[in-house]
Structure 1
Amino acid sequence: MGSYKNKFADNSKYLYLHWQQAKTIRSIWISGDKDVIAQLTIQGYEAYYRWSIKGIFHALTAKYYVYNSYIGDVNQYFANGAVKINLWHGSPLKRIEYDINNGPLFSVYHPQSLHQKFVSVTQYHQQRIAPDYMIAPSDLVSALFATAFHISEHHMLLSGNPRTDFYQRYPKSTSIIQTLKQNNNVSQVLLYAPSWRDSGIAGDRETRTNPYLQAINFESLSEALVYNKQLLLLRLHPNEADLANDISHYPNIINISDWQDTYEIINDVDLLITDYSSLYIDMLQTRADIVFFQFDHQEYQADSRQCYPYAESLPMAGEVIFEFDVLLKYLHTMGESPNIASLTHKKNRAELTQLYWQYQHIESFTVLDNLVSQS
């Protein structure tokens, strides 16, 4: 089992933790980050560095590969013969994999020239390997995953996701959010988790601009947060997490981009601020209000992957904001009146929850336990 960018995160993390406790199957975590391996080992879990002798041995002999993105989460060279279970790390809002029809990733899945075909086969070969099984929490997600990953819908496991099921089965005794509120003397905690912009893959880290500094006056934001007794947790995508280094020094703003994931806190935060990220789909099941701060709407549509056609007519689960000043006003209003979601947005959330979480009542751990027990 493994996760993207050698993290200990997302669906495979929570399935691994379940299997470590339930002992359904011998589960081994593989990572290229020795610190991750050391931390898991200290906790008494079985985990190995990818290129250690044991890491290579188990990658070669494993019956199952369980991952969040691609087989390289475990080992992209030794996966032949293993049953591949892709738990994926998001919901299909933007076009993914073979459904991508524009942007920088188009040539990976639909190479046109000989050069593009060579690059696709040699540098992106693991993206072209279809999984044997995936989990899908609704019929909509099942159909989209099937086309995106070239997998039959008969191999979709209809259930919730491990990342959102875990704390239902294994509730935490203490709340991180409550601790943050007490330690920082605030009454509300906000999570800002914008989507990764595909255009960010162009250019190097030294020369690219920081879109968040261009769109947000963080000094003004910080002052507003202090006044409103609010704390902002900044969570940038792993592909651009370094951009948070320019932001995290302001009062009442904490950079959590280096956290493995945010699923320990999503049930307790008061507001999610996002833009195009499918994280909001997971947040539909929580009590948090949702705001879509889309400061670069036109540029994003031009430069990044398109959304699926169905997404264009979706009801909005929260307020859509394009200007920073309007966002500040929203935060001030929320500080005075915590529950400001409109009746329309509450109704929309109920409709979206049914669309995306049709099978949430079927626990993923039960389904995946049955799969590996019967094989």
Structure 2
Amino acid sequence: MSQFIVNCIRYIVTQSLYFIGGFCPRSRKAVMGCYKNKFADNSKYLFLHWQQALTIRAIWISGDKVLVNQLVEQGYEAYTRWSFKGIYHALTAKYYVYNSYIGDINQYFARGAIKINLWHGSPLKRIEFDINNGPLFKVYHPQTLHDKFISAAQYHQQKVRPDHMIAPSDLVARLFAGAFRISEQQMILTGNPRTDYYQAYNKSNNQGNNQGKNQIQKSQQNIPLPDQQSLIDELKLINNVKQVILYAPSWRDSSALTTDSSNKAASANPYVNAIDFTALSASLVDNNQLLLFRLHPNEAHLANDIQHFPNIINISDWQDTYEIINDVDLLITDYSSLYIDMLQTKADIVFFQFDQQAYQSDSRQCYPYADDLPMAGEVFTEFAQLNLYLSNLSQNTNISSLTNKKNRTELAQLYWQYQHNDCFKQLDKLVSA
């Protein structure tokens, strides 16, 4: 069967199911999900809040049967995407709450529901309809009739506009509105559940009723994985670790539309090529430092090449890292907007941009405003520079310059203008109207 016929069938089936699904009556409940069938990010922490607050019946939908079973064992309501109940609730829920696209839940049955996109990052790199280069350009801006047909057939869910999004500042609200082609009036000006959760439900406090305590205990496990904080504490004791470093580079989306597995070979691993992991590991051991290596879900397979080095732990399979970000001493990233979330923590921040020119030409560009942003930390392009910085950090934890500290304060004001607006209260109000 030719690819053209396959795309024709896909287009007809997708559009037909989406249209028909819009006629189903919907009741007051929320179906929720996450990219890559994970239990992570903003939707996870809003789900955990709603389990405790009982604001609305919240149901988790995933394509991962093992995850669903583990959530059910924890006492939560969860169903696989194509189970009878998974389909039923996707067709009848008033609210769709997700981190990326409606396909986090079910892209075929969302018409008629109120769609709340919590998104999974901050608009540093161009996103969605603002993308103007790289492999994702033709998804949002197909030029030929052929490309327009492919885009409509294969990328249906990317074109479905949300009814609401959250934004922690006017800047983010404006950029999200443009990128998703919605109005700024559809924005909820508030912080993010992923960064607010452990402030609202402090793991170490003893306040609240027993139900609240039980909920916090559940959340600490970062379902369905083991207690990550306990793991870090144990490793620090075993290795006499004084500093915890999180290396979380951005997704290099030059391979976004590539299906050829040969392009995922270790020889093409940009991190192995850029970093001498043997030397890095030896330095970490000498400096009593522990490095947590966290790749984007789309690149997680690349981390398999570095799992055997002492004091380097691959955590790319963790659902997310928000449980431990307040215990990280240093974030190493490159072009990732994760550093914007980390502005709210005590961690130092450095940028290791080993492929700066190639990244700018092959991947999405940043928004123009980003060119004028002050830097939140030092910028390195060579591994030797980074390794020297780590050695200096081990001797003096207060090596961040006054300029960088001032810049962090300015950036925090730019990105977290509405952090004081309790996100859980705002979202509770939305679904209670």
TM-score (norm 2): 0.85
Match of 1:151 in 2: 182
Q: Please give the alpha-carbon distance, in whole angstroms, between the structure 2 residues aligned to 1:147 and 1:47.
A: 34
Q: Please give the alpha-carbon distance, in whole angstroms, between the structure 1 residues aligned to 2:406 and 2:263.
A: 44
Corresponding position: 1:195 with 2:250? yes
Match of 1:181 in 2: 236
Q: Encode CA deviations 1:128-165: one digit per residue, 9 max, x unaligned.
A: 01000000000000000000001110010000000000
Q: Please give the alpha-carbon distance, in whole angstroms, between the structure 2 residues aligned to 1:75 and 1:184.
A: 44
Corresponding position: 1:84 with 2:140? no
Q: Please give the alpha-carbon distance, in whole angstroms, between the structure 2 residues aligned to 1:203 and 1:59.
A: 29
Q: Encode CA deviations 1:57-89: one digit per residue, 9 max, x unaligned.
A: 000000000000000000000001100000000
RMSD of aligned Cα (Å): 1.0
Match of 1:126 in 2: 157
Which residue, 227, 240, 252 being the options, matches 2:286?
Answer: 227
Corresponding position: 1:101 with 2:132? yes
Higher mean alpha-carbon deviation, 68-77 vs 34-43, is at 34-43
Deviation for aligned residue 1:179: 3.8
Q: Please give the alpha-carbon distance, in whole angstroms, between the structure 2 residues aligned to 1:184 and 1:170.
A: 30
Q: What stretches of structure 1 of length at least 5 have no aligned partner?
A: none
Alignment of 1:1-375 (within 5 A): 1-173=32-204, 175-176=229-230, 177-201=232-256, 202=258, 204-208=260-264, 209-374=268-433
SS at match of 1:85: strand
Whichever residue aligns with residue 133 of structure 1, its letter is: H
Whichever residue aligns with residue 408 of structure 2, its letter is: R
SS at match of 2:295: coil
Deviation for aligned residue 1:198: 1.1
SS at match of 2:397: coil
Q: Please give the alpha-carbon distance, in whole angstroms, between the structure 1 residues aligned to 2:408 and 2:37.
A: 34
Whichever residue aligns with residue 324 of structure 1, its letter is: F
Q: Encode CA deviations 1:282-306: one digit per residue, 9 max, x unaligned.
A: 0000000001000000000010000
Deviation for aligned residue 1:184: 2.7
Match of 2:223 in 1: none
Q: Please give the alpha-carbon distance, in whole angstroms, between the structure 2 residues aligned to 1:218 and 1:96.
A: 32
Q: Please give the alpha-carbon distance, in whole angstroms, between the structure 1 residues aligned to 2:78 and 2:51.
A: 11
Deviation for aligned residue 1:322: 0.4
Deviation for aligned residue 1:203: 5.5
TM-score (norm 1): 0.98
Q: Please give the alpha-carbon distance, in whole angstroms, between the structure 2 residues aligned to 1:33 and 1:54.
A: 15
Whichever residue aligns with residue 224 of structure 1, its letter is: S
Return structure 1 stretches of 4+ with deviation > 6 angstroms: none
Higher mean alpha-carbon deviation, 209-218 vs 196-205, is at 196-205
Deviation for aligned residue 1:183: 3.2
Whichever residue aligns with residue 261 of structure 2, its letter is: R
Deviation for aligned residue 1:245: 0.4
Q: Encode CA deviations 1:27-81: one digit per residue, 9 max, x unaligned.
A: 0000000111011111100000111010000000000000000000000000011
SS at match of 1:94: coil
Deviation for aligned residue 1:248: 1.1
Give me the identity figure in percent: 74
Q: Encode CA deviations 1:95-133: one digit per residue, 9 max, x unaligned.
A: 000000000000000000111101110100100010000
Q: What stretches of structure 2 of length at least 5 have no aligned partner?
A: 1-31, 205-219, 221-228
Q: Please give the alpha-carbon distance, in whole angstroms, between the structure 2 residues aligned to 1:368 and 1:180.
A: 37
- Work out the number of aligned pairs and report it: 374
Between structure 1 and structure 2, the one with the greater Rg is 2
